[in-house]
Amino acid sequence: MAVLEHLEKKVRQLERRCLDHKIIPIEGAQGTRIMVEGRELIQLSANNYLGLTSHPRVREAARKALEEAGAGAGGVRVMAGTFDRTQALEQKLAAFKKTEAAVVFSAGYTTNLGVMSSIPDKGDIVLSDAYNHISILEGIRLSKAEMRSYNHNDMEDLERALAESQNYRQRIVVTDGVFSMDGDIAPLPEIVDLVEKYNAILIVDDSHSNGVFGENGRGTVDHFGLHDRVHIQVGTFSKAFGVMGGFVASSKIVCDYLMQHANSFIYSTAHPPSTTAACMAALDVVMDEPEILERLWDNTRFFRNGLKELGFDTGKSESPIIPVMVGDAKLASRFADHLYEAGLMCKSVAFPTVALGEARIRVIITAAHSHEEMEQALKIFERIGKDLKIVT
């Protein structure tokens, strides 16, 4: 069939350019060491910042809820009913994020689709950081609003965009709190000042900062002390919290609006009780065991400094997401293949996920990595980096 031939051609094209995603099957649990085809690898590619995917309290909560309430939700929340435990999670989340309310979605991705497609309306303009996550862009495309991208973290460009869009009904600025491919932070204090000066709305996607930045991991908004000045915060349970599911933390009216207007909330089945219970337990762990967050930062500093001392360029990272810059996509892909053969699970990322010529290995350090694992990983980086002449 011609259509299928077209698809095959596109798949082969990506493979030839080393831009295809390799799907690697892992056996058993996610952790700092994973089993792949009978071989143990050190995991440096999971967003499991606090190591909670396998935390005993999180596992036990999921197991108990599965036994008590079964495997599935049975339908969308607006039709089949909302579990009381989901509402309890939303209350706990609002308290954690210090907002009036919160609403849970099935994933971080669908949260951004729901928020960005339903809040900006006809006659509005969305000003979006050029490095924002793809789910934000896809959400904006589904909306009736116009979009203008401003240069990454460039406050002059953002101000220009705000000044030039005064004729729109509403201006909505959206930014990641921590950027997923570079690990740098949005300059939220400056963004908030501009948003207030131009009377705009601010949405911050804190997917990579919840559980990582701020008091007890409350995110970048808390880190910068901007609680009453950011209108809408998006988050996910799939990264530091180690489970899955997205959420919005905001005012009650915003959450009520989303429950009535965000299609990804209305028309997608709710989480199974076990997922909700695991998210609750993860939040409890984050609050009760702050030493895990301290360990995350100790490990991040240790590994990033180790890479720098070896001569690697770690870009502008200020978080546990550490890009090891390579430049050329094919070289980055070879680097990742060699690291994999040597026992490290870490992926190369290239265009279009990052800018052309900025291919890199994306490393993620977690609180659960031991010093032995990090030292072993650094030795492998050194050996292969020298073999491939990425460092001297």
Q: Which of residues 192-251 bind ligand PLP (CB under 6 A)?
A: 205, 207-208, 236, 238, 246
Contact with ligand PLP (CB under 6 A): which of 90, 124, 129, 176?
Answer: 176
Q: Which residues contact 29 (CB under 8 A, 6 or more apart)?
A: 53, 54
**Is 180 noted as a catalytic residue in this protein?**
yes
The interface region with ligand PLP, picked from 34-42, 106-114, 256-264, 367-375 by CB under 6 A, is: 106-114
Would you say 124 or 129 has its CB closer to ligand PLP? 129
Query: Considering only residues 133, 304, 360, 369, which one is a binding residue for ligand PLP as defined by CB under 6 A?
Result: 133
For ligand PLP (CB under 6 A), the number of binding residues is 14
Catalytic residue among 180, 207, 209, 250: 180
CB of 205 to ligand PLP, least distance (A): 5
Smallest distance from the beta carbon of 239 to ligand PLP, in angstroms? 7
Span of 62-70, 101-109, 213-221, 330-338 interacting with ligand PLP by CB under 6 A: 101-109
Residue 182 in contact with ligand PLP, rule: CB under 6 A: no
239 is catalytic: yes
- Which is it for the CA torsion 190, 195, 196, 202, positive or negative? negative
The question of whether 208 is a catalytic residue gets the answer yes
CA nearest neighbour of 202 among 168, 162, 261: 162
Range in contact with ligand PLP (rule: CB under 6 A) among 8-16, 108-116, 146-154, 264-272: 108-116
Pick the catalytic residue from 97, 133, 152, 208: 208
Q: Give the nearer residue to ligand PLP in terms of CB position, either 179 or 312.
A: 179
In the bound state with ligand PLP, the residue whose beta carbon lies nearer, of 58 and 390, is 58
Rounded least distance, CB 104 to ligand PLP, Å: 12
With CB under 6 A as the contact rule, which of the stretches 107-115, 267-275, 340-348, 374-382 interacts with ligand PLP?
Answer: 107-115
Binding residues for ligand PLP restricted to 6-25, rule: CB under 6 A: none
Shorter beta-carbon distance to ligand PLP: residue 234 or 384: 234
Site of interaction with ligand PLP (CB under 6 A): 107-109, 112, 133, 135, 176, 180, 205, 207-208, 236, 238, 246
| Active centre residues (catalytic) | 180, 208, 239
